[in-house]
Amino acid sequence: MNVENIKKITVVGAGVMGNGITQVCARNGFKVMMVDVNEEVLKNAYKQIKDGPFGLSRLVEKGKIKSDEMEQIINNIESTTDPREAAKDADLVIEAVSENLELKKKIWNQYDELCPEKTIFASNTSTIMITDQAAATERADRFIGMHWFNPAPVMKLIEVIRGALTSDSTFNFIVEFSKKLGKIPVEASDSPGFFTSRFISEFMIRGVRMFEEGMAGIKEIDTMCKLGFGFPMGPFELMDLTGIDIIMHAGEYVYSITGDPNDKAPITLRKLVTAGYIGKKPGSRGGWYDFYNIK
């Protein structure tokens, strides 16, 4: 498969990452079919693409695109809740459904049956091993990890992960495709969390352990990262943004495979999640600063 020959990209899952990925592909001239489980999610995805904090209206305001270009980009996007329609004639399927191996395997198995043989499958998972997902299909050679970063329209990096059986042509295709989208691809081998999520999880877990050991307070650790080392935010602020529950699940998954105690989610982190403090997102009681009442 050649990047120039792509006629249809299917993005499965139109949540935070799926709608951002759709936007980037459509902006670069590709026809995209966005799929999710119901119309409400799809409607919200269009809203984010048009008027969200990283949406196209912002680019028009900043003079980066013209308003008729915005129309064209939107016209590149279709949506459906029907996997059959989504899979039909797809050249590339990018999966961005919730981070759950069983769900991902079910979806891949379904798309493997519905998609043409040529279709390349790429998972946007942050942690789940590519080889495990590919095993749910008959096309492990055309299966790869394409890990985007949040927000997808802004962040330049794409981690490209080879599964045990990913072919060189699939790898080269995704590298070329990433470049075509204006992104910078970096190669990773398959392991739980790959190298990017493993690295950033360690950063966050290390912060929690320092706090648990009484070495410094939450605000002091975040302040050190920002003022001492020039990071845009510290580990606690980052967890509040990413979702404390997501960090816990990622830690559990990585630890279940590596058995390395360093990968395990610390007790304090579990306590917050169980108490309903999962960060700055709907349905949460708050984040680290709220739980410990830090001003």
The DSSP bridge pattern shows strands 184-189 and 120-123 to be unpaired
Minimum CB separation from ligand NAD for residue 125, in Å? Answer: 4
In one letter, which amino acid is 144?
I
Q: Pick one of 12, 140, 181, 254: the residue that binds ligand NAD (CB under 6 A).
A: 12
248 binds ligand NAD (CB under 6 A): no
Nearer to ligand NAD, 205 or 238 (CB): 238
Q: Please list every residue from 117 through 136 that binds ligand NAD, using CB under 6 A.
A: 124-126
Tokens of residue 203, six digits: 């950063």
The 87-116 site mask, x for binding ligand NAD (CB under 6 A), equals ---------xxxx---x---x---------
Per-residue x/- marks for ligand NAD, 65-84, CB under 6 A? Answer: --------------------
Does residue 185 have a cis peptide bond before it, meaning omega lies within 30 degrees of 0? no
Based on the shown chain and the rule CB under 6 A, indicate whether residue 158 belongs to the binding site for ligand NAD: no
Looking at the chain, list the stretches that DSSP marks H as alpha helix, in order from N- to C-terminal side.
16-27, 39-51, 56-61, 67-75, 83-87, 101-114, 130-134, 168-180, 196-212, 218-223, 235-242, 244-258, 267-274, 288-291
Describe the crossing of helices 67-75 and 39-51 by its angle, rounded to 10 degrees. 150
**Least distance to ligand NAD from the beta carbon of 148, Å?**
6
State how far the alpha carbon of 182 is from the alpha carbons of 42, 175, 176, 177, in Å.
25, 11, 10, 9
Supply the minimum distance, in Å, between the C-beta of residue 71 and ligand NAD.
25
Torsion sign across C-alpha atoms 174, 175, 181, 185: positive
Q: How far apart are alpha carbons 237 and 111 in whole angstroms?
A: 38
**Shortest distance, CB of residue 241 to ligand NAD, whole angstroms?**
9
- Quick check: 17 binds ligand NAD (CB under 6 A)? yes
Is 23 or 125 the residue whose CB approaches ligand NAD more closely? 125
Instruction: Find the part of the chain contacting ligand NAD (CB under 6 A) among 64-72, 130-138, 142-150, 280-288.
Output: 142-150
Chain residues binding ligand NAD by CB under 6 A are 12-18, 35-37, 41, 96-99, 103, 107, 124-126, 148-150, 242
